[in-house]
Amino acid sequence: MSARGARLGLRTAALGYLFLLLAAPVGLIFFRTFEHGLGPAWEAVTTPEAQHAFYLTFVMIAIAVPLNTVFGVTCALMLVRSRMPGKALVNALIDMPFAVSPVVIGLALVLVYGNDGWFGGWLTERGIQVIFSVPGMILATIFVSLPFVVREVVPVLREIGTEQEQAASTLGASGWQTFRRVTLPSIRWGLTYGIVLATARSLGEFGAISVVSGKLSGQTETATLFVEQRFHQFDLTGAYAASMVLAVMALTTLLAMNFLNRRRTH
C-alpha cells in the first residue's frame, strides 16, 4: 500500500472508531431527546425532581471543586517545593482515586461514615448524617475529583523552578506575596486546566455517589442518578433529556479545556 493509502486507511479507522463509540451514541441521545419535539423534552428536565437533581449536581461542584483547588495547590507546592519526609507516600495516595473504582470508594465511605462505621456512630449521636445524605455525596465527589488539580499543577511548578520565587524574596516579597504575585500567575493555565478537569469529573460522577446517596428522588439525587432513575422507570424522554443537558455541560467544559490548552502552549 502506498504511504498515502496507509494514511487514508488510518484516518478512516480512527474516525470510524470515534464515530461508532462516541459520536453515534451521543448523536442518538440528541435525536431521541427531540424525537417528539421540544415540548416533552423541556417538560422532562423542568420537573421539580429534575431541577433539584441539577441543583444538587451544581452544589457538588460548587463545594468539591474549590476545596480540591485549594488542597491541590497546597499539596502540589508541598510535593514539589518542600523536602519533608513521606512525600512518596502522599504522591502515591493522590493517584488512588484514579486507580480505585468509584463504587469501591463509595463503599469505603460507607465503612467509615455509615451508622456502623468508624465515625458514623459518633456523628449520628450528634445529629449529623453523612451516608444517605448530601454530606456523604460531597465527600464522594471530593474524593473522585481530588487528583486533577494536583496532577496538573505539579509539572508546571517543576518546570518554572524556584529561581523566580527566590528573586521575589530577595526583592523583599514575603512568602504570601511571592505566592500571589509570582507563583500563582505562573501556574495559572495548569491550575485552570486542572479545575476544568475536576469540574467535568464531578459533573459526571455516578458510581461513588450512587452507593452513598440512597437515591431519594428530590433529595439525594444528582443529575446522573436522575438519568438512571428515569431510565429504570421507562421514562426514556426524561432520561434522554437529562442526559442531553449533562452532555451539553460536559461539551462546554471540553471546549473550555481545548481553548485553554491552546492558550497554554503559546
Partner 1 sequence: MAIAAGNVCKRFEDFVALDDVSISVPEGSLTALLGPSGSGKSTLLRVIAGLERPDAGRVMINGRDATALRPQERGVGFVFQHYAAFKHMTVEDNIAFGLSIRKRPKREIKARVAELLGLVHLEGFADRYPGQLSGGQRQRMALARALAVEPKVLLLDEPFGALDARVRKDLRIWLRRLHDEVHVTTIFVTHDQEEAMDVAEQIVVMNDGRVEQAGRPRDLYEHPANEFVMSFIGPVNRIGNEFIRPHDFELRLEPNGSTEEAMIDRVVHLGFEVRVEFSLRDGSQAWAQLARAEADQLELHAGQILFVRPDASKVFTGGGAGI
Which stretches of the chain bind partner 1, using CB under 8 A? 163-164, 166-174, 177, 181-182, 185-186, 188
Shortest gap between Cβ of 159 and partner 1 (angstroms)?
11
Comparison of 170 and 265: residue with beta carbon closer to partner 1: 170
Comparison of 64 and 168: residue with beta carbon closer to partner 1: 168
Cα separations (Å) of 174 from 81, 84, 181, 186, 204? 16, 21, 10, 17, 40
Shortest gap between Cβ of 196 and partner 1 (angstroms)?
20
Shortest gap between Cβ of 102 and partner 1 (angstroms)?
37
Q: How far apart are CA 205 and CA 207, in angstroms?
A: 6
Q: How far apart are CA 105 and CA 75, in angstroms?
A: 21
Comparison of 8 and 171: residue with beta carbon closer to partner 1: 171
Contact 110, 131 (CB under 8 A): yes
Helices (H) and strands (E) in the chain, counts: 16, 0
Comparison of 164 and 252: residue with beta carbon closer to partner 1: 164
Cα separations (Å) of 108 from 72, 77, 87? 22, 28, 24
Shortest gap between Cβ of 262 and partner 1 (angstroms)?
17
Shortest gap between Cβ of 148 and partner 1 (angstroms)?
23
Comparison of 36 and 81: residue with beta carbon closer to partner 1: 81
Instruction: State the CB neighbour count (10 A cutoff) for residue 22.
Output: 10
3-state secondary structure of 17: helix
